[in-house]
Amino acid sequence: MANRTEILLASALTFVVAGCLRAADPVPSTGQVEFFEKRIRPLLADACHRCHSADSDPFKGGLRLDSKAGLLKGGENGAVIVPGHPEQSRLIEAIGWENPDFQMPPRRRLTAAQIADLTDWIRDGAPWPASPSTNSTASARPVDAAARARQHWSFRPVQSVAPPTPATPSAGQAVHPIDAFVHARLAQANLQPPPPANPRSLIRRVTYDLTGLPPSPEEVEAFAADPSDAAWEQLIERLLNSPHYGEKWGRHWLDLVRFAETNSYETDEAKPNAWRYRDYVIRAFNRDTPYDRFIREQLAGDELPDGGDDGIVATGFYRLGIWDNDPADKELARFDQLDDIVATTSQVFLGLTVDCARCHDHKIDPIPQRDYYSLLSFFENLQPYRNGGATDEVPLTDGGKALAVTEAGTAPKKTFLLRRGNPGSPGDEAHPAFLTVLDPPRPEVVVPAGQRSSGRRLALANWIASADNRLTTRVLVNRVWQHHFGRGLVRTPSDFGLQGLPPTHPELLDWLARDFVENSWSLKRLHRRILTSRTYRATATASADALRLDPSNDLFSRFDMRRLTAEEIRDSSIWVSGDGNPRMFGPGVYIPLPKEVLASQSVPGKGWGKSPPEDHVRRSIYVHVKRSLLSPVLLGFDLAETDRSTPVRFATTQPTQALGMLNGTFFNERAAALARRARREAGPSTEAQVRRVLQLVTTRPPTADDIARGTGLIQSLVNSDGVTPDAAFNAFCLLALNLSEFLYLD
């Protein structure tokens, strides 16, 4: 037995050690708690818990990162952090990816902003707020995965945040809220805000972003002469009020809702009057229809008491997907149609892949299979699509018909959970309910008076369009940001779940979402907010520090260049040649297609009509979209997929693009038309003609060297190749349409 002295020494040592531990573990401040809960805990959950948490037992490398005790204990190779010293912390080395043998997380590198957050947190002493799930006793027990997943950043309520106060505010000048957020993150990374872009780049950038068309050289020169803030705001207003605005932003929406005018499969028959939905979307954007109303009209416009014709046409949303007119299993085909609706609705409006839970609980997100069928039950009463007739075509007050949705009466049949997604193996009954991870209210279903409808879809629409929904506004403002900056604050715009990427600027995302709701869900006002910021008007030229410290531009240390979209390339080629037909709306246009393309169908050329020549030069959004017969001019430049929702178009570079632009009939016709315009507007001088072509294509005054090279090429073709002067000038115009200055925005 130990003597009294040994006992006293042991007791004193225990007291000293405990005291040292308490002294080294102060209570985190309010700011530290907020930073940890908003930035660090979600990041560790998203990037690390798959391999280093209670649910991954045994933990890889013996390391747990879901509790403070596990973090401080480290793994098989010892401690991973040294509080207060990120430069000595192996965790920072691992996420830096500089050591090829020690890179974490192994599947994808963290963003510069995420690395900066973890570095700052460790430098601050790695404060970890005490909670029942993170103290040393509880951390020894398994943590409920669903409960932890519910703490994911997108499943929590939208936060009320104020823009940061600049460290050195400008005297007498208010700081734009967006710039306050972005510049604060740049400062954390020891980066300066980028300088503004030149006026000519700016007007070209914003004109394409809002209308999808190039500005005229005269418009560019007028803005270059007065690039003041007042002139910039006037320019934004003019573009937002242009009818071309709805055509450009309507196209973004059509990508999301898998818009096409035919059914796919072998026969690929036409959907009756699908073009009316496209026209509805364009008009809704031009009218600045509040986004919450836009949601309700598409999901339940026929159930709205004041839905009118727009409410009927908008429900064409449900009929746009692919459809098999001769399925081997009709019941399975019906559930495939419903699955398409569940997938599109959840991804487009909520940014979640709920359809992954059709056959089993979602493997990544906290979405049980029951939630999938509860959501499906809102659509159970829809009459199956039949490609025409009373179930699909609804009369309008103007005497026409619209592709629309109808229901099979006021009492929907029961919905059952399908084991392994098999219609032949029904399980428990599923009732209408919203996604449980979002802590939703119970659905309030009211049968609309005087209608053969259940009211279920309106209940769903009201929940999705509620200001309290945690995902809807975040998803929408992120999409708008994406189309102005080339990527969203969340780079996975239709996946806000655990597998998606976290926001690079979470506070800015929530501030935009709240500001959007507080200002009547107005998209045009959201555009103004973004476009008037210094962040949007930044140069695309990166500094050496920006390339080194922010290589992926996660912090917006410059503006990302982008290539024009497929529609912008085709439309711009038409507009600079002076042939653009601005007529809007109506049935889809059949543009000329090569005979080789027409022969590629199962029944060559079936379902492709002929439109008059004046319709061939209308905007691309009005070109008939036949799933099995897409225009090579558009398809070659990464046209949106038509079979499922397309949240992001990836710009590829491939030889067929250059071959098509140099040898294709369309671009050679556009070059000839551009040559005719230049001759008409510039007169007989070759030099003046070259100058006018370059002005139209690049929207800047050409230099003397530019003109000399152009005239030199023309003369060389005449002298060396024996072509006529007109043919040589046409070739120069074709070259101009292939310039990077024409195809890219900076």
pLDDT tens sequence across 478-506:
999 999 999 999 999 999 999 999 999 99
Lowest-pLDDT choice from 95-99, 437-441, 703-707, 741-745: 95-99
- Of the ranges 53-57, 174-178, 588-592, which is most confident? 588-592
Question: At 239, which amino acid appears?
Answer: L
Same domain, 348 and 486: no
pLDDT higher than 90, residue 737: yes
- Tokens coding 457: 């879809």
Same domain, 432 and 315: yes
Looking up tokens 């890179």 gives: 103
Same domain, 379 and 423: yes
- What value, to the nearest 5°, has the Cα angle with vertex 611 and ends 610 and 617? 130
pLDDT of residue 15: 33
Tell which of 549, 571, 606 closes a domain: 549
- Tokens coding 730: 């046409």
Helix (H) or strand (E) holding 415: strand 415-418
Is 300 within the bounds of a domain?
yes
Mean pLDDT of 419-435: 93
Lowest-pLDDT choice from 540-544, 576-580, 598-602, 610-614: 598-602
Same domain, 296 and 417: yes
Same domain, 358 and 487: no
Looking up tokens 């926001």 gives: 503
pLDDT of residue 146: 66
Separation between Cα atoms, residue 83 and residue 74, nearest integer Å: 12
Per-residue pLDDT reduced to its tens digit, 321-352: 999 988 999 999 999 999 999 999 999 999 99
Same domain, 431 and 496: no
Structural domain harbouring 729: 663-745
pLDDT higher than 70, residue 102: yes
pLDDT higher than 80, residue 169: no
Separation between Cα atoms, residue 63 and residue 53, nearest integer Å: 8
Same domain, 82 and 212: no
Same domain, 114 and 207: no
DSSP 8-state code for residue 361: S
Mean pLDDT of 430-459: 93
Same domain, 440 and 542: no
Q: How many distinct structural domains can be found in the chain?
A: 4
415-418 vs 562-563, strand pairing mode: unpaired
Same domain, 232 and 351: no
Give per-residue burial for 67-82: e unless 16+ CB within 10 Å, then b. bbbbbebbbeeeebbe
Q: In which band, very low, low, confident or very high, does the pLDDT at 460 lie, cut at 50, 70 and 90? A: very high
Is 252 within the bounds of a domain?
no
- Tokens coding 727: 């043919």
Q: In which band, very low, low, confident or very high, does the pLDDT at 12 lie, cut at 50, 70 and 90? A: very low
Q: How far apart are the first and last CA of the chain?
A: 81
- Tokens coding 540: 């695309």
Separation between Cα atoms, residue 350 and residue 493, nearest integer Å: 10
Separation between Cα atoms, residue 319 and residue 317, nearest integer Å: 6
Is 305 within the bounds of a domain?
yes
pLDDT of residue 56: 58
Q: In which band, very low, low, confident or very high, does the pLDDT at 416 lie, cut at 50, 70 and 90? A: very high
Q: For 397-402, which contacts have Cβ atoms below 8 Å and span 24 or more sequence positions?
A: 397/308, 397/309, 398/309, 400/273, 400/276, 401/272, 401/273, 402/273, 402/276, 402/277, 402/309, 402/312, 402/313, 402/316
Is 386 within the bounds of a domain?
yes
- Tokens coding 565: 């979209």
Same domain, 345 and 420: yes
pLDDT of residue 436: 94
Tell which of 499, 518, 549 closes a domain: 549
Mean pLDDT of 586-606: 89
Separation between Cα atoms, residue 482 and residue 285, nearest integer Å: 17
Helix (H) or strand (E) holding 721: helix 704-721
pLDDT of residue 104: 80
pLDDT higher than 60, residue 99: yes
Question: At 489, which amino acid appears?
Answer: L
**Percent of the chain surpassing pLDDT 70:** 91
Question: At 372, which amino acid appears?
Answer: Y
Same domain, 226 and 304: no
| 0.85 exceeded by pTM | no
